[in-house]
């Protein structure tokens, strides 16, 4: 867990189901506040927002 500059506590994790890697970042203080990005393989230089 990390505290941001505005004192929000966030948690991040990598979810890997064997075919897709996702970076998930959640606001611990607010239920339902999260974002997920699909991580492209290989160069690691691009993340795509997930619906």
| pLDDT single digits (tens) 1-13 | 677 666 777 777 7
- Its pTM stands at 0.50
C-alpha distances out from residue 12 to 26, 40, Å: 6, 17
HSE (CB half, 13 Å, CA atoms) of 22?
Answer: 14
Could you list the residue range(s) of the whole structural domain that residue 42 is in?
A: 2-49
How many percent of the chain have pLDDT more than 70?
67
Mean pLDDT of 37-51: 64
DSSP state of 40: P
* Structural domains of the chain, count: 1
pLDDT for the residue numbered 3: 72
């Amino acid at each position: 867990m990390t505290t941001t500059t505005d004192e929000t506590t966030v948690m991040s994790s990598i979810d890997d189901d064997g075919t897709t890697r996702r970076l998930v970042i959640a606001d611990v203080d607010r239920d339902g506040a999260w974002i997920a990005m699909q991580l492209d393989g290989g160069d690691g230089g691009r993340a795509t927002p997930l619906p």
